[in-house]
């Protein structure tokens, strides 16, 4: 590629063509007070070699899960990712995460999305899945809008143990809409049936329950589903997909819409994103589902083919009929999920879930031997639990970091009454030696 340096005559010719005297006249609509009357304060230019060295130096300031033992959770988890996921997802055919506009010409991409949808339905116990959403928080917010469209009601009941980030996204989504949000508080880390029963009424469109919740505690989804359905409300379950393999699937516990973040299924933590949101629902609600839905059909020669069965966004149908303005799906990350689930299989996933459960409970048991530490809640948990300490959360976590251990997530930024507590996640990657080292680091504070 060749570049041509513009001469003064070239610039003058362009200005004459568009009818302005000088370049300054192009910015006449910008008030002088808003203009910069000096050169930008930029450093001297670097050669490519110097630039790469500087970027590597900056990157070296980060600490990845390869550099420290990770017990962080709260939405992002250090799960093992088989090499085959990177090997297949990095093929040049999948370099874009965007759904092609001439979708039916891309049968390989559509088949990948179709397989993803099938696997999500099997995992959640639901009948229909879309081809993914942005991440777990927006998936939950879209599910609430979907419930509003189904019921025509204007209320949503949310547990305070739903992840605070999800509740913030939901509040942003609903800020300009006539929808009332009612938050049900928890007791010992979980909401109580009587609290939910008091909150729902004949104007409740949806009840949003997270299980395992943000504290790692398991909620009584079947009991809450019965209460919500008794008031004519839609039940939205936000779940950890790994837990669905070991516990009863949310679809079998009465959920109408199941959402969550697919990050545990073959997506690296990547310092917080990007991720992939999944959504599945009962077939009767399929036409209210946002995003894309890929279906299987036959072409004119009778061969198996794939097509976009539903595209319920504004660009494809009349605005008043659109269910959402979600414009695309996380195609590349949904592909990683499909590869991960296929590679692991039912038995492999069950082993991952069992290891998470067993190792988390082993770590929690180690706390009983430590002075100044205890479990904050006594409710059943899956792979996360909350630790209360009398030694100062910041001090404890800082000491563990000095030992090469990311010991947990402080809860004070999310819950003022839990300033003495931190959240611990234990995945299948954590070894007995690492858990013992974690407990030893706590005991040294």
The CATH number of whichever domain residue 353 belongs to comes to 3.90.1150.10
Cα diameter, the chain: 82
Regarding whether 253 and 289 lie in a shared domain, the answer is: yes
Regarding whether 202 and 177 lie in a shared domain, the answer is: yes
Regarding whether 280 and 355 lie in a shared domain, the answer is: no
Q: Give pLDDT, residue 1.
A: 46
Closest CA to 207 of 186, 238, 178: 238
Distance between CA atoms of 165 and 171, rounded to whole angstroms?
10
Using the 3D structure, point to which of 341, 374, 395 is the last residue of a domain: 341
Regarding whether 241 and 108 lie in a shared domain, the answer is: yes
Model pTM score: 0.88
In a domain, 15, yes or no: no
Segments forming the whole domain that contains residue 247: 83-341
Regarding whether 299 and 150 lie in a shared domain, the answer is: yes
Structure token digits, residue 292: 């894309």
In a domain, 226, yes or no: yes
pLDDT digits (tens, 9 = 90+) for 121-152: 999 999 999 999 999 999 999 999 999 999 99
Distance between CA atoms of 267 and 85, rounded to whole angstroms?
9
Regarding whether 379 and 232 lie in a shared domain, the answer is: no
In a domain, 265, yes or no: yes
Regarding whether 87 and 75 lie in a shared domain, the answer is: no
Using the 3D structure, point to which of 277, 308, 341 is the last residue of a domain: 341
Contacts of 127 (CB under 8 A, 6+ apart): 121, 251, 280, 281, 282, 283, 286
Task: Count the domains in the chain.
Answer: 2
In a domain, 37, yes or no: no
Residues of the chain with pLDDT under 50: 1, 314
Distance between CA atoms of 107 and 173, rounded to whole angstroms?
34
Regarding whether 112 and 214 lie in a shared domain, the answer is: yes
**CATH number reported for the structural domain that contains residue 167 in this entry:** 3.40.640.10
Whether the Cβ atoms of residue 80 and residue 353 lie closer than 8 Å to each other: no
Regarding whether 334 and 370 lie in a shared domain, the answer is: no
Whether the Cβ atoms of residue 373 and residue 408 lie closer than 8 Å to each other: no
Whether the Cβ atoms of residue 380 and residue 217 lie closer than 8 Å to each other: yes
Distance between CA atoms of 218 and 222, rounded to whole angstroms?
11
Closest CA to 145 of 124, 169, 167, 173: 173
In three-state secondary structure terms, 263 is coil
Regarding whether 204 and 279 lie in a shared domain, the answer is: yes
Whether the Cβ atoms of residue 170 and residue 198 lie closer than 8 Å to each other: no
> 335: phi > 0 → left, psi -120 to 50 → alpha, else beta; which?
alpha
In a domain, 64, yes or no: no
CA 338 to chain centre: 16
Question: Within 21-78, where are the H helices?
Answer: 48-59
Q: Give pLDDT, residue 319.
A: 63
In a domain, 14, yes or no: no
Using the 3D structure, point to which of 293, 314, 341 is the last residue of a domain: 341
In three-state secondary structure terms, 188 is coil
Distance set, CA 267 to CA 341, 376, 437 (Å): 11, 30, 27
DSSP assignment of 102-144: SGGG-HHHHHHHHHHHHHHHHHHT-SEE-S-BS-HHHHHHHHH
In a domain, 24, yes or no: no
In a domain, 145, yes or no: yes
Q: Give pLDDT, residue 22.
A: 87
Regarding whether 303 and 215 lie in a shared domain, the answer is: yes
Regarding whether 213 and 147 lie in a shared domain, the answer is: yes
- Backbone CA torsion sign across 175, 178, 181, 182: positive
């Amino acid at each position: 590629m060749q570049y041509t340096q513009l001469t003064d005559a070239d610039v003058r010719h362009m200005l004459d063509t568009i009818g302005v005297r000088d370049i300054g006249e192009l910015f006449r609509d910008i008030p002088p007070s808003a203009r910069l009357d000096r050169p930008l304060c930029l450093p001297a230019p670097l050669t490519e070699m110097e630039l790469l060295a500087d970027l590597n130096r900056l990157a070296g300031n980060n600490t990845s899960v390869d550099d420290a033992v990770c017990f962080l959770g709260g939405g992002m988890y250090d799960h093992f990712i088989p090499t085959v996921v990177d090997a297949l997802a990095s093929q040049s055919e999948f370099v874009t995460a965007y759904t092609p506009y001439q979708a039916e010409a891309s049968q390989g991409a559509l088949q990948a999305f179709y397989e993803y949808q099938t696997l999500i339905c099997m995992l959640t116990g639901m009948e229909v899945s879309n081809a993914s959403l942005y991440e777990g928080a927006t998936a939950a917010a879209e599910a609430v809008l979907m419930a509003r469209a189904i019921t025509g009601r204007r209320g949503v009941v949310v547990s305070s143990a739903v992840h605070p980030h999800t509740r913030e996204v939901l509040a942003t989504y609903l800020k300009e809409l006539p929808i009332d949000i009612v938050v049900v508080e928890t007791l010992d880390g979980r909401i109580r049936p009587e609290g939910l029963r008091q909150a729902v009424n004949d104007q409740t469109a949806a009840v949003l329950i997270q299980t395992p919740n943000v504290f790692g505690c398991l909620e009584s989804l079947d009991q809450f589903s019965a209460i919500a359905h008794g008031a004519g409300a839609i039940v939205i379950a936000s779940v950890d997909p790994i837990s669905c393999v070991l516990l009863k699937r949310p679809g079998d516990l009465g959920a109408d819409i199941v959402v969550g973040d697919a990050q545990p299924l073959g997506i690296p933590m990547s310092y917080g994103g990007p991720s992939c949101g999944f959504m599945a629902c009962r077939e009767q609600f399929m036409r209210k589902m946002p995003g894309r839905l890929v279906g299987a059909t036959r072409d004119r020669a009778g061969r198996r083919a794939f097509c976009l069965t539903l595209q319920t966004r504004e660009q494809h149908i009349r605005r008043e009929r659109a269910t959402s303005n979600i414009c695309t799906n996380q195609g590349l990350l949904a592909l990683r999920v499909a590869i991960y689930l296929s590679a692991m299989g039912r038995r492999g996933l069950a082993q991952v879930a069992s290891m998470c459960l067993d190792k988390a409970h082993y770590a929690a048991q180690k706390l009983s031997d430590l002075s100044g530490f205890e479990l904050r809640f006594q409710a059943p948990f899956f792979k996360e639990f909350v630790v209360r300490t009398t030694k100062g959360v910041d001090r404890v976590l800082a000491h563990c970091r000095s030992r090469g251990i990311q010991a947990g997530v402080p809860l004070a930024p999310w819950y003022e009454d839990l300033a003495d507590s931190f959240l611990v996640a234990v995945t299948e990657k954590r070894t007995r030696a690492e858990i013992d080292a974690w407990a030893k680091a706590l005991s040294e504070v």
